[in-house]
Amino acid sequence: MADEKRAPSSGSSKAGAQHTEAPDGLHSAAAERGFAATDENGQSLVQFDPKAEARLRRKLDLFLVPTVSLLYLFCFIDRANIGNAKIAGLEKDLGLKDYDYNALLSIFYISYIVFEIPSNIMCKWVGPGWFIPAISLGFGIVSLATAFVHNFAQAAGVRFLLGVFEAGMMPGIAYYLSRWYRRSELTFRLSLYIVMAPMAGAFGGLLASGILTLDHVGGVTGWRMIFVVEGIITIGLSVISFLTLTDRPETARWLTQEEKDLAIARVKSERVATTEVLDRMDSKKLLLGILSPVTMSTAFMFLLNNITVQGLAFFAPTIVRTIYPDKSTVMQQLYTVPPYVVGGFFTLALPLVSWRLDRRQIIIILSTPLIIVGYSMFLGTANSSARYAATFLLSSSLFAVGPLSNSQVSANVVSDTARSSAIGLNVMMGNVGGLIATWSYLPWDGPNYPIGNGLNLAACCTVLLVSTATLVWMKWDNRRREGRSAEEELAGMSQQEIQDLDWKHPAFRWKP
């Protein structure tokens, strides 16, 4: 939208003169365009009433999180329900052979990866209040269309389009929420929608098993009913979200003017040298977001993590079938549910700890040991009970890296533009991992899949090494920055030049 390109003021131009007076004046001044909420050393100039912040936070949680969480739930269901459809007869009806199923999964990720960063840039330009509902409507329609494919070529076409529309969903929501929440608060709020990934595994399995007990839905039967029902639900939620999502605090009719000022000032107070929360897009800041060392390191870790996340999502039903081959299809679907419930709990618990500590990197490091043990069990035993237990260990830590990594790249850039490209790169790299995952469990590697499980074990061990090395580097570079003089380095520079430095600003510190 045209108004997305400017950052409206929240008060008169005299507001900046109030920034040493009463708290309400501070909020208004910090919200004003052209007023920086930090000094040249990056220290906040504004103080906030904790009770007013708590009231605002509860209001944001109520009006923002439920809608994006439901949309992401069905985004993930519409992506992963092909795994449920596979064991319900999709392969046979479409005449898939050899690696055709893996190819279908890969086609989705090709478009998903290609459109990731462009989608998040478009989300900033159009405005998330319109963009997120629009792409949700798109992948709902495509999911519905999947029920009517009859061969590999048609299935490949709809999977490609599904990737186009879903590409902007995860990074778009992460970027959207970063407009509203503080750095420490963001991780837990991201987990409230990313928890829908393991919940989609649980709910998707329950929903698929329930749908398959029906004789027909309209004129379709069997696995096709899964796509019809879930596609229609997604379309309905998308239409509602056009009415419920708000672009930014300034346009939120459900906030008072004082609450709008507070919402803007809170975000500003953590962004060194920032005079406007929603800056104009330019290529320099887009590149700074992508080239931040923490962005690149975190994105690589998320790539490795997503090999395991997406592998579990797509192949959990197949793995369960190899563990319990004598069970009915409905029972096999139901066996996929409990590990995802456990995963959902830890996807909220670990980011909650991160919120309280305002730390993300150490939580990423601590998320790896259980995954290593889980894949070691897959490789070390053919016992059905032990291997099923291993799926609980995997889901307990895998999904939490999503909110932690997106929050980490968001916390370690300054401008809104850099944030959009940093999150876009992180999720794009994560989906490169998803593409790799589609080829990690090959038909000839079954039933124990040593190659697939070995790949995932190696990926998780690498995450442990890279995340630890990154934490050490962040602390080292922060100590190096302590010896720099912000006054000397910024002398003679204009406000815009200072603001354009982003994470290269001498007063900026990496947030571990």
Q: What is the DSSP string of 57-95?
A: HHHHHHHHHHHHHHHHHHHHHHHHHHHHHIIIIIHHHHT
pLDDT at 14 (0 to 100): 29
C-beta of residue 404 within 8 angstroms of C-beta of residue 498: no
Give residue for tokens 């439920």: 66
C-beta of residue 52 within 8 angstroms of C-beta of residue 67: no
Residue 38, classed as helix, strand or coil, is: strand
List the one residue out of 222, 234, 204, 232 whose CA is nearest residue 94: 222
Helix (H) and strand (E) counts in the chain: 24, 0
C-beta of residue 390 within 8 angstroms of C-beta of residue 380: no
Q: How many CA atoms lie within 13 A of 41 on its CB side?
A: 6
Strands, DSSP E only, in 74-142? none
C-beta of residue 348 within 8 angstroms of C-beta of residue 217: no
What's the rounded Cα separation, in Å, for the pair 381 and 200? 28
Give the pTM. Answer: 0.77
Single-letter residue type at 229 = V
Q: What is the DSSP string of 305-353?
A: HHHHHHHHHHHHHHHHHHHSTTS-HHHHHHHTHHHHHHHHHHHHHHHHH
Which helix (H) or strand (E) segment holds residue 297: the answer is helix 293-323
How many CB atoms are located within 10 Å of the residue 276 CB? 21
Q: Catalogue all structural domains in the chain, each as residue range(s) with its CATH number.
A: 53-266+283-482 (1.20.1250.20)
Residue 20, classed as helix, strand or coil, is: coil
> Is the torsion defined by CA of 37, 293, 459, 86 positive or negative?
positive
Compute and round to an integer the Cα radius of gyration of the chain: 23
Contacts of 305 (CB under 8 A, 6+ apart): 398, 401, 402, 405, 430, 433, 459, 460, 463
47 to 52, 265, 429: CA distances (angstroms): 11, 10, 38
Residues constituting the chain = 512
Would you give the distance in Å from CA 178 to the centre of its chain? 11
pLDDT at 312 (0 to 100): 74
Angle at 430 between CA 463 and CA 440, to 5 degrees: 80
How many CB atoms are located within 10 Å of the residue 217 CB? 16
What's the rounded Cα separation, in Å, for the pair 248 and 86? 41
Beta-bridge partners for 44: 38
- Please give the chain's pLDDT, 512 residues, in tens: 434 433 333 333 323 333 333 345 555 555 555 555 555 555 666 678 889 999 999 999 999 999 998 898 888 788 778 877 887 888 888 888 888 888 888 898 889 889 988 998 899 888 898 999 999 999 899 999 998 999 999 999 999 999 999 888 888 998 899 889 988 898 899 888 878 766 776 677 777 778 777 777 777 778 888 888 889 999 999 999 998 888 888 888 889 999 998 988 888 887 766 656 676 777 888 899 999 999 999 999 999 998 888 777 656 666 777 777 787 777 776 787 788 888 888 888 999 999 889 899 999 999 899 999 988 988 888 887 888 888 888 888 888 888 899 999 998 998 888 888 999 899 889 888 888 887 887 778 877 788 888 999 999 999 999 999 999 999 999 999 888 887 788 888 887 788 788 888 888 899 98
pLDDT at 282 (0 to 100): 78
List the one residue out of 57, 314, 38, 88 whose CA is nearest residue 189: 57
Residue 44, classed as helix, strand or coil, is: strand
